Structure 1
Amino acid sequence: MRCSIFSLACLVTSAVASSPVTSNVSKVHEETRSLDEIHKAALAEGGVVTLWHGGDEANQQSSLKTAFEARFPGMTLNVTVDLSKYHDGNLDQQIADGNVQVDSIILQTLHDYPRWKEQGVLLNYAPANFGKVHGSFKDADAAYMGLLIFAWGLIANVNKTNTVLAEYPDFLKPEFKDKLVLTYPNDDDAVLYQFDLIIQQYGLSWFDALLAQNPRWVRGTETPATLIRSANSSSVATFTSGISLPLPAGNTLPTQGEFVSWPQTGAILKKAPHPEGAKLLHNFLLSTEHQTTQGWSVRDDLPAPAGLSKIWEQEGTNITGFGAWMSDRANVERRKYWYENKIGTAQGLSPLVDDL
């Protein structure tokens, strides 16, 4: 099979053997204690959990911290949000130094988990409801598993435009010139993958036409949505920000094109300072009470959001495609430099410290 630089079918075929998820789940012993019982054990341990969560705004997991601490009195969830590509390197340094200070990680860098498992630094632990997690989202030995679903969508501020955005070619309409805001694809792997998917379908002519629209390039995937909402910004639309469910006005999912989705994957460190606290957190994250607040669930037994299918059956996305693509790091690096040559290096402060 001959492959062009945008032939994702070839890339996924070559990478699938090292994909960070597997559907061949072995017989692992699932947690049998109740949340209240684990809560007591976590309190006896010190009542603290340290979580490193991938993201690009410091307050993105504030709602998780609030919900967890309200549900489990006496517990403190110390959550640090940073770009996953920085978290993984910092964790590697702690591992190398023999000084692991983090209990739980939930990151976008899906390719890291098989490596960490092979190094023996992840705890093989199956929370309650592990058996209900979709098979392609979890490691056979419960070293890591998908805990929530992330997805990009088409987002526009209906107070700024009356134009319907249903598919990626709609972003090329004349009325959107100088009004698009997009995350640098060479700064975020999920956005990079999204651009590659679009160009694979619509060709390089689509990308050239997009550049002619003079979009505003920014760091972070929350930044476009923030600018679109702002009355002080001329930005109107994006396809590089996460969606919330149910879909608000102006938010759509393409049906002819493909959108990126993936299971944001988590693990507990084998040398976690607070293993019982980490177990409490992971059991809570997979619990029915939490999963039913998250839009798409990672669990087979819970229903899809109204009007949508379960994410692994949803039209317009391949939930395991991103994980396979991420495992070919040489290709990812080549793609970053291709876009860098077209649009330049990512400019601006870290999205965690800017004021957007």
Structure 2
Amino acid sequence: MSRLFTALLLLRQCFAYDTLLGFNSRPLVETRPLEEIYDAALKEGGTVTVWHGGDEKNQQESLKSAFESRFPGMTLNITVDLSKYLDGKIDQQLYNNNVFVDSIILQTLQDFPRWQQEGALLNYAPVGLDKVYPAFKDSISASWYGYSIFFWSISWNTRKLPDVKSISSYGDLLKPEFKNQLVLTYPNDDDAVLFAFHQIMQELGTKWFDGLLKQNPRWVRGTATPLTILSAANYSQSATFTSFGGFNPGNNVKINFPNDANFVSWPQTAAILKNAPHPESAKLFHNYLLSSEYQRTVSLSVRQDIKSSNSLYPDIMHIPRTNPTAFARFMNDRITVERLRFFFENRLGSAQGLSPLVDDI
């Protein structure tokens, strides 16, 4: 009997420890309408601080404008920087018990399960979370979830390449007409781009990469930079496959998805920090992100019930040549990530230029 009592006591202590760290604590499921959360956020002070992964400081101005227009009196303080830098700064805040950021939206998908296990994230289910694809969220704790699908397509400027009707494969980019025309992000400087190259070379081999180098591409830092360069009239480069512009990336720019190797797609992932200084404002922001109102504005929704405005690609799960869950597995395999990074660094050298590059182009 004493052994049984001891075992039960140990089990109880384990449950208490898990609950303390937030491992098994049930999430708070939001039932309030958006306007009620809005009122609570205004009473709290009307400010939410968000760190968002990206390349250019003004990259999320449209999100800021949309949120503040939808909720007058609210201020969205949004900082955009590379996710690989922001996650370390979040760790510093957690270590120093000095959390001043409310919400985080990052590309470093491997961080979210770790932070959840450390008890750093708020277990909170916004309205609409039940509609999010199961693969894009922590269904148990509701501590993190994708909010929008990002993807790299093949993109080119039709004005600069008037004779190119379509680019349907990565192999096409090795054709003579693309000599000196490509602008690409260093794969050893961004894990999503690294995964893009990894998937291509799994299908086409290192021979393809050798051929790519012979095309004399311009290598840059930041994934917004290639689209900026190929769109600008004062730069000669005209094509890329390492930029995200959605289905409508701009005037004179077309996109296509490759048919000879997989392209990268993933749910850009969001969470509220458990000790966020403005929890009601953060909840308002996250409920807005997952609302049908906002999800209908993104290229590809994370919600199963909302279809894309592009009739050819109604949702991410039915686009050929991509697996939106594969990038998360890749990001968790840090041994493979580091091995590949050094492979490309050995071929290309370390990434050169400002990071982000916006002030240098």
- Give the TM-score of the pair, scaled to structure 1: 0.91
Residue 286 (structure 2) aligned to one of 282, 293, 312: 282
Q: Please state how far the C-alpha of 1:188 moved relative to its aligned partner.
A: 0.3
Deviates more, 1:308-317 or 1:247-256: 247-256
Where in structure 2 are the equivalents of 1:34-49 lying within 5 Å?
A: 34-49=33-48
Q: Match of 1:255?
A: 259
Residue 198 (structure 2) aligned to one of 196, 199, 202: 196
Q: Deviations over 1:236-289 (max 9, x none)?
A: 100000131257652111233211000000000000000000000000000011
Q: Please state how far the C-alpha of 1:175 moved relative to its aligned partner.
A: 1.2
Deviates more, 1:28-37 or 1:129-138: 28-37
Q: Match of 1:6?
A: none
Asked if the contact 1:147–1:266 (Cα under 8 Å) also holds between the matched residues in 2, the reply is yes
Q: Match of 2:167?
A: 165
Q: Are 1:81 and 2:80 counterparts?
A: yes
- Partners of 2:53 and 2:86 lie apart in 1 by 7
Q: Please state how far the C-alpha of 1:312 moved relative to its aligned partner.
A: 1.9
Q: Deviations over 1:192-221 (max 9, x none)?
A: 000000011011110000001110000001
Q: Deviations over 1:283-340 (max 9, x none)?
A: 0000011000102100011123321141122211001000001001121111101000
Residue 307 (structure 1) aligned to one of 312, 330, 333: 312
Where in structure 2 are the equivalents of 1:129-278 lying within 5 Å?
A: 129-139=128-138, 140-161=140-161, 162-163=163-164, 164-246=166-248, 249-278=253-282
Give me the identity figure in percent.
57
Q: Are 1:344 and 2:349 counterparts?
A: yes
- Partners of 1:108 and 1:143 lie apart in 2 by 16
Q: Match of 1:20?
A: none
Q: Match of 1:12?
A: none
Q: Write the letter of the residue equivalent to 1:220.
A: G
Provide the secondary structure at the position in 2 that maps to 1:335: helix
Q: Write the letter of the residue equivalent to 2:319.
A: Q
Q: Please state how far the C-alpha of 1:29 moved relative to its aligned partner.
A: 4.8
- Partners of 2:90 and 2:29 lie apart in 1 by 27
Q: Write the letter of the residue equivalent to 2:273.
A: L
Q: Please state how far the C-alpha of 1:347 moved relative to its aligned partner.
A: 0.1
Provide the secondary structure at the position in 2 that maps to 1:354: helix
- Partners of 1:313 and 1:170 lie apart in 2 by 24
Q: Please state how far the C-alpha of 1:40 moved relative to its aligned partner.
A: 0.6
Q: Match of 2:117?
A: 118
Q: Please state how far the C-alpha of 1:27 moved relative to its aligned partner.
A: 7.7
Residue 316 (structure 1) aligned to one of 296, 315, 321: 321
Q: Match of 2:22?
A: none
Deviates more, 1:308-317 or 1:147-156: 308-317
Q: Structure 1 stretches of 5 or more lacking a match?
A: 1-25
Q: Please state how far the C-alpha of 1:37 moved relative to its aligned partner.
A: 0.5
Q: Write the letter of the residue equivalent to 2:344.
A: Y
Asked if the contact 1:150–1:242 (Cα under 8 Å) also holds between the matched residues in 2, the reply is yes
Q: Structure 2 stretches of 5 or more lacking a match?
A: 1-24
Asked if the contact 2:123–2:141 (Cα under 8 Å) also holds between the matched residues in 1, the reply is yes
- Partners of 2:354 and 2:307 lie apart in 1 by 40
Deviates more, 1:227-236 or 1:299-308: 299-308
- Partners of 2:334 and 2:243 lie apart in 1 by 23
